[in-house]
Amino acid sequence: MIKLLSISASLIIHLVLLANEQYYPEFPDTFQHNNSDHYIHYAAQLINEGSLDEALAVIAIGQKKANLENNEYLLANLDYYKADCYYYLQEYDSARQLYQLLLPRFETLCDTLMLAKALNSLGLIYGYESNNEQSLYYYLRDFDLLNKVTHKNRKLKVEQLVVLTNIINLYSDAGEHQKVLNNSEVAIALAHEIKDSIRLGSVLNTLALAQKNLGNIDLALATFQQASKIFKALNDDLSNAHIINNIGGIYEINELQLDSALHYYQLAVKGFEHNDFNWGISQAKLGVAAVLAKQHKYEAALQEYHQVIDISKAFKFNQVLLLAYQGLAQLEYDRRNYQKAWDVQMLYNELNDSLFNAEKQHQFAELQTRYELIQKENEINLLKNEKLKQELKLERTHLQQQVIFVSFIFLAIITGFIMINLSRKRRDNELLKEKNSRIEDQNQQLQAMNREIQLMNHDLNQSKQQLILANNAKSKFLSILAHDLRNPFHNIMGQSYLLSKTYDQLTKHEKIGYAEQINESCEQVNRLLENLLDWGHSQFQGKHFKPQTIEVKKLVNNTIAVLAKNADKKNITIENKLSTDITVKGDQAMVETIFRNIINNGIKFTPEGGHVIISAKQNNQHMCFLIEDNGTGIDEKHFEKLFCIDSDFKTTGTSGEAGTGLGLVICREFVEVHQGKIWVESQLNKGSRFYFELPLP
Per-residue pLDDT reduced to its tens digit, 485-509: 555 666 677 678 777 777 778 888 8
Of 1.25.40.10, 2.40.10.170, 3.40.50.10610, 3.40.50.620, which CATH number belongs to 236-336?
Answer: 1.25.40.10
3 state DSSP class of 688: strand
SS3 content of the chain, % helix, strand, coil (to 5): 75, 5, 20
Q: Is 689 a residue whose pLDDT tops 90?
A: yes
Query: What is the fold of 544-695?
Result: Heat Shock Protein 90 (3.30.565)
- 605 within 8 A of 638, measured Cβ to Cβ: no
Q: Is the pLDDT of residue 472 over 70?
A: no
Comparison of pLDDT for 245 and 516, the residue scoring more: 245
Do the domains spanning 111-235 and 236-336 agree at the CATH topology level? Answer: yes
Computed over every residue of the chain, the mean pLDDT equals: 82
d(CA 70, CA 67): 5
SS3 of 189-232: the string is HHHHHHCCHHHHHHHHHHHHHHHHHCCCHHHHHHHHHHHHHHHH
Q: Is the pLDDT of residue 407 over 80?
A: no
Task: Give pLDDT tens digits for 142-170.
Answer: 999 999 998 889 999 999 999 999 999 99
Instruction: Say what the pLDDT of residue 404 is.
Output: 74
Helix (H, G, I), strand (E, B) or coil at 507: coil
Give the pTM.
0.50
Task: Please give the residue that has the higher pLDDT: either 418 or 671.
Answer: 671
pLDDT at 514 over 80: no
pLDDT, greater one: 9 or 586:
586
Torsion of Cα atoms, 267 then 270 then 271 then 272, to 10° = 120
DSSP string, 270-313: HHHHHTT-HHHHHHHHHHHHHHHHHTT-HHHHHHHHHHHHHHHH
Residue 262, pLDDT above cutoff 50: yes
- The letter for the amino acid at 587 is D
What would the mean pLDDT of 165-185 be, rounded to a whole number?
92
| Mean pLDDT of the region 392-420 | 68
Cβ 652 vs Cβ 632: under 8 Å: no
Q: What is the pLDDT of residues 368-389, one digit of tens each?
A: 544 454 555 566 656 656 666 6
> Where are the domains positioned within the chain?
1-109, 111-235, 236-336, 359-482, 544-695
Note the pLDDT tens digit of each residue in 95-111.
999 999 999 999 999 99
Query: What is the tens place of the pLDDT at every residue in 619-638?
Result: 889 999 999 999 989 888 87
677: amino acid identity, one letter: K
- To the nearest 10 degrees (0 to 180), the angle between helices 177-194 and 154-173 is 160
**Cα torsion through 214, 217, 223, 224, rounded to 10:** 110
Q: How far is CA 674 from CA 482, 534, 549, 694, in A?
A: 32, 16, 13, 6
* Of residues 193, 298, 205, 218, the one with CA closest to residue 245: 205
- The one-letter amino acid at 314: A
Q: Backbone phi, then psi, for 674, in 5-degree steps?
A: -85, 10
Overall fold of domain 111-235: 1.25.40
The angle that helices 154-173 and 132-147 make with each other, rounded to 10 degrees, is 150
The string of pLDDT tens digits covering residues 529-559 is: 776 666 565 554 445 678 999 999 999 999 9
